[in-house]
Each structure stands twice: as structure tokens, then as C-alpha cells.
């Protein structure tokens, strides 16, 4: 059974990879918190609700040959709005970035537990004990 | 994997802040290092500058120390005729190190280092939660 055929699982795995990419962009901001001229970046959030609701209504591109290029899941990066910047042009607010990182981590916890619950549900439907 | 990239970027940030701390302590340690010869220049404070570089192996902007440049600022003149580095008028040039500015710089480096550590913590939590999906 291909779990990614189930819309919710597909949305969850896309969200997990988005959260992972966002984490690395936020870590990049923090590493560059004292770099002159550096402006904090963020990752644009795709429409996850639409991913669940609209699944099945559009057909993905079919791969007819193993050599076909598979679209890789990269997300668009955008610069964060600058609220204040240091005299050297650096516009990274450490507090802001820490807040975003902790939000990101709790979103990740939420998404992984959602995945576990959904998997338990599928197992239950298959007549297995959800814990086993 | 993105989360491991995030760890690498944070490690680079910590290394850069570590270099900054090293230079700050160099400045503080040499706050009284005068010249040995009459009229010579004393220790000149050093300043670290950072720059962001594209790390191609992880495809993200990492950070590294750009250069360690000599800091500008006037040397203080202190009257001490018996000092070996005293000039004809009896004045000795003292290093342009301001301990308070150095301490502030040190505190800032410490904050940034801590922030990188916290980012590593968050990434580690995310990784272990992902691994826990197996159980």
C-alpha cells in the first residue's frame, strides 16, 4: 500500500519536509546574526489545507519513463520584513528567530503525532491492533 | 536531509562566534602590552568581521570569519619616564583596548553562540521525533 496515495499522509509528509527546510533556513539566520548586510530569510508556506481538501481533484504529471525528471520538493524562500537593522546592515532579530524556531519545533511535534494517529487509524481499519 | 543541514549551519555559526571570543580574549589579555623599544607601537586591538558564504555541499548560506582586521582608535599616552618604551618626553603609548567595549563584544558573542546552540537543540528534537515515528 502506498501511503502517499492517501491525501492526509501526502500532506503530512510535505509539511514535514517544509518544516525541515524552514528549520535549516532559520538556523542559517541565526548563524548569520552578526554578518554585515545579511537579511533574515524565511520559507513561504504552501497551502496545506488545499493539499488535503483539493487532493484527488487534480491529476499529477504521469511518469511514463524511469528517466523522467521527478519534481523535487523545494519551497520558495522569501526575505523576512525588516523591522530594524544594525548599523552594519544586518537585519536579524535573534528573539524573532528563536520564536520562529520554537514554533517550528512544536509544529513538527504536532505533525509527527498526527502522522502516528492517522497510521494507527489505518491499522485499526485493517483489523490490527493500532499499537502493534 | 534538511535537519542535518541545519545542524551543520549552526555548527558553522558556533565556530565563527568561537573565533570572535578568541580574538576578544586576545585583546583583553594584551590590554597592557606596550612596545619594547622607545617610541614603538603597542598592541593594537583586533576586530573580527563575518561574512555569509554559500556552502555548496548543503546548498545554504553558511557563515565564516571574513577577516581579523586591526581596529582603529588612538593609542593612549601615559607619562612613565622609567618605562623601556618611553619616548624622549617620557610618554609611553598604551594599547587602544577598551576593556568595557571588549566585555560587551564578548557578551554579544556569547548570546549568538547560545542562540546557535538552541537552534541545534530544536533540530535535534525534530530529528528524534521523526525517528520516533518508527516506534
Please give the full DSSP string across A39-50, using - where no structure is assigned.
B-EEEPPP-HHH
Q: How many domains does chain A have?
A: 1
Query: Which chain A residues contact residue B123 at CB under 8 A?
Result: 23, 27
Q: In this structure, is residue A130 part of a structural domain?
A: no
Tell me what pLDDT residue A47 has.
80
A70 pLDDT exceeds 80? no
Distance in Å, alpha carbon of A12 to nearest chain B alpha carbon: 12
Q: In this structure, is residue A132 part of a structural domain?
A: no
A72 pLDDT exceeds 60? no
CA distance B125 to A105: 7
ipTM over 0.85? The verdict is: no
- pTM, entire model: 0.81
Do the chains contact at A30 and B116, CB–CB below 8 Å?
yes
Domain residues for the domain of A40 are: 3-125
Q: How far is CA A61 from CA A50, A58, A68, in A?
A: 18, 10, 10
Question: Which residue from A minimizes the CA distance to B11?
Answer: A31
Query: Which chain B residues contact residue A39 at CB under 8 A?
Result: none
Ordered per-residue pLDDT tens for chain B, 135 residues: 688 889 999 999 999 999 999 999 999 999 999 888 887 889 999 999 999 998 888 878 899 999 999 998 889 888 988 988 888 888 999 999 999 999 999 999 999 999 999 999 999 999 999 999 887
E-assigned strand segments in A46-129: 77-79
Give one word for B90, left, alpha or beta, with left for phi > 0 and alpha for psi -120 to 50: left
Q: In this structure, is residue A91 part of a structural domain?
A: yes
A59 pLDDT exceeds 70? no
Tell me what pLDDT residue A11 has.
87
Distance in Å, alpha carbon of B20 to nearest chain A alpha carbon: 11
Q: In this structure, is residue A131 part of a structural domain?
A: no
Q: In this structure, is residue A52 part of a structural domain?
A: yes
Amino acid at each position: 500500500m502506498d501511503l502517499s496515495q492517501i491525501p492526509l499522509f501526502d500532506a503530512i509528509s510535505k509539511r514535514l519536509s517544509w518544516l525541515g527546510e524552514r528549520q535549516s533556513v532559520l538556523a542559517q539566520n541565526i548563524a548569520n546574526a552578526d554578518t554585515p548586510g545579511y537579511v533574515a530569510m524565511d520559507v513561504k508556506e504552501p497551502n496545506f489545507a488545499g493539499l488535503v481538501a483539493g487532493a484527488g481533484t487534480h491529476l499529477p504529471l504521469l511518469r511514463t519513463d524511469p528517466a523522467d525528471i521527478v519534481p523535487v520538493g523545494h519551497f520558495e524562500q522569501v526575505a523576512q520584513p525588516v523591522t530594524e537593522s544594525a548599523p552594519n546592515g544586518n537585519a536579524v532579530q535573534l528573539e524573532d528567530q528563536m520564536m520562529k524556531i520554537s514554533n517550528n519545533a512544536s509544529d513538527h511535534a504536532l505533525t509527527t503525532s498526527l502522522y502516528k494517529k492517522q497510521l494507527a487509524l489505518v491499522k485499526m481499519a485493517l483489523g490490527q491492533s493500532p499499537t502493534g | 536531509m534538511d535537519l542535518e543541514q541545519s545542524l551543520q549551519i549552526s555548527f558553522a555559526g558556533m565556530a565563527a562566534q568561537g573565533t570572535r571570543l578568541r580574538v576578544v580574549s586576545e585583546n583583553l589579555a594584551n590590554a597592557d602590552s606596550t612596545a619594547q623599544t622607545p617610541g614603538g607601537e603597542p598592541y593594537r586591538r583586533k576586530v573580527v568581521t563575518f561574512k555569509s558564504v554559500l556552502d555548496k555541499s548543503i546548498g545554504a548560506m553558511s557563515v565564516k570569519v571574513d577577516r581579523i582586521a586591526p581596529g582603529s582608535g588612538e593609542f593612549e599616552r601615559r607619562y612613565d619616564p622609567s618605562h623601556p618604551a618611553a619616548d624622549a618626553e617620557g610618554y609611553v603609548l598604551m594599547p587602544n583596548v577598551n576593556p568595557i567595549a571588549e566585555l560587551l563584544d564578548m557578551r554579544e558573542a556569547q548570546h549568538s553562540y547560545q542562540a546557535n546552540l538552541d537552534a541545534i537543540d530544536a533540530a535535534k528534537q525534530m530529528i528524534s521525533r521523526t525517528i520516533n515515528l518508527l516506534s
